[in-house]
């Protein structure tokens, strides 16, 4: 087996050979610890039958571990300067395809149909660029891609918000949006020292396992998310206050909002952060007819 890319010595040698300079604006913090990479991959539960989609392969540190444990890896990389490096570092692996594109613009569904036509088990595994963590996760979930789930490194603060339970200070519309589609767990806290350059914030790895059906039944997903966002607009305000000030024509519809809160068994004086997904679903289903 070839030498791992993700050792401090080999990474430095690769970067020097290509005169590569990190772009902070692209969230380039590369992993230089093989043990951490192996753990990340183990959380994904891959087999030779699995496919892996990686976002931001960098110089291939994680890609190589994925290539060794799955049937095929497709990696989206935005930075053209990394393409010749990846062609070199990943040359020993014939089951890797690098696509030069911004993952937020790429036709990921189309790529999946083309690259994984017969693969039943596909996981997204990534050390995400931190400047676009949330848009990337939300895009992958909202598109309802046929993936089993996502295992990714991200800012610990965002991991806390994603996996937060009702009543905690981190619980908000992001927790609800992600938990609606997936079972979310923080599986590892990661020190800054395993990256080069070191990021300014602490990191964590989360595992999102896609649910076969969303966690709750809602009449209209868009409206459900609109209600949850409105409910957290100002965290110190009551639900009633947030809903009347944030929903379209909310002020004129105050009586209907109070009625919907009562019918769904939610005290108007509660704060959004105390409501479970089930309560938000009931509430948005009751409110729905008054806003459509």
- Under the rule (CB under 6 A), what is the footprint of ligand SAM? 26-31, 55-58, 61-62, 76-79, 82, 102-104, 127, 129, 132
Angle (deg, nearest 10), helices 277-288 and 173-181: 90
251 CB burial (10 A radius; 0-12, 13-18, 19+):
exposed
Match 């676009």 to its residue by tokens.
Answer: 132
Output the smallest distance, CB 72 to ligand SAM, in A.
Answer: 17
Closer CB to ligand SAM, residue 29 or residue 242? 29
Measured from the CB atom, the residue of 171 and 195 that comes closer to ligand SAM is 195
Which is closer to ligand SAM, CB of 26 or CB of 215? 26
Element (H, E) at 46: none
Shortest Cβ 164–ligand SAM spacing (Å): 23
**Whole-number Å distance between alpha carbons of 224 and 149:** 23
Task: List the structure tokens of 137.
Answer: 């996760």
Minimum CB separation of residue 53 from ligand SAM in Å reads 11
Taking the C-alpha atoms of residue 101 and residue 57, their distance in angstroms, rounded to an integer, is 12
Q: How far is the CB of 20 from ligand SAM (least distance, A)?
A: 10
Phi, then psi, of 50 in degrees rounded to 5: -85, 155
Terminal alpha carbon distance of the chain: 61
Residue facing ligand SAM at closest CB distance = 56
Give min distance, CB of 128 to ligand SAM, in A: 6
Judged by beta carbon, residue 155 or residue 163, the one nearer ligand SAM is 155
Q: Which residue's CB is nearer to ligand SAM, number 98 or number 283? A: 98
């Amino acid at each position: 087996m070839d030498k791992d890319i993700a050792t401090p010595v080999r990474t430095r040698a690769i970067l020097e050979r290509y005169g590569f300079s990190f772009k902070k604006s692209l969230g380039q913090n590369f992993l230089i610890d093989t043990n951490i990479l192996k753990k990340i991959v183990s959380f994904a539960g891959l087999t030779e039958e699995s496919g892996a989609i990686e976002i931001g392969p960098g110089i291939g540190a994680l890609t190589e571990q994925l290539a060794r444990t799955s049937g095929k890896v497709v990696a989206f990389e935005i930075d053209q300067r990394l393409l010749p490096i990846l062609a070199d570092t990943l040359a020993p692996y014939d089951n890797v395809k690098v696509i030069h594109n911004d993952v937020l613009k790429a036709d990921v569904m189309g790529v999946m149909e083309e690259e994984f036509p017969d693969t039943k088990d596909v996981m997204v595994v990534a050390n995400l660029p931190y400047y676009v963590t949330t848009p990337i996760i939300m895009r992958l979930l909202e598109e309802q891609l046929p993936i089993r789930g996502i295992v990714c490194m991200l800012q610990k603060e965002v991991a806390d918000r994603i996996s937060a339970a009702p009543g905690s200070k981190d619980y908000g519309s992001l927790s609800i949006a992600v938990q609606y589609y997936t079972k979310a767990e923080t599986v590892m806290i990661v020190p800054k020292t395993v990256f080069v350059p070191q990021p300014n914030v602490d990191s964590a790895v989360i595992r999102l396992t896609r649910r076969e059906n969303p966690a709750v039944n809602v009449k209209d997903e868009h409206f459900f998310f609109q209600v949850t966002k409105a409910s957290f607009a100002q965290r110190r305000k009551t639900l009633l206050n947030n809903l009347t000030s944030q929903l379209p024509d909310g002020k004129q519809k105050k009586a209907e909002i109070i009625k919907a809160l009562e019918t769904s068994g939610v005290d108007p004086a509660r704060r959004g952060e105390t409501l479970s997904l089930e309560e938000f679903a009931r509430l948005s289903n009751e409110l729905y007819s008054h806003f459509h």
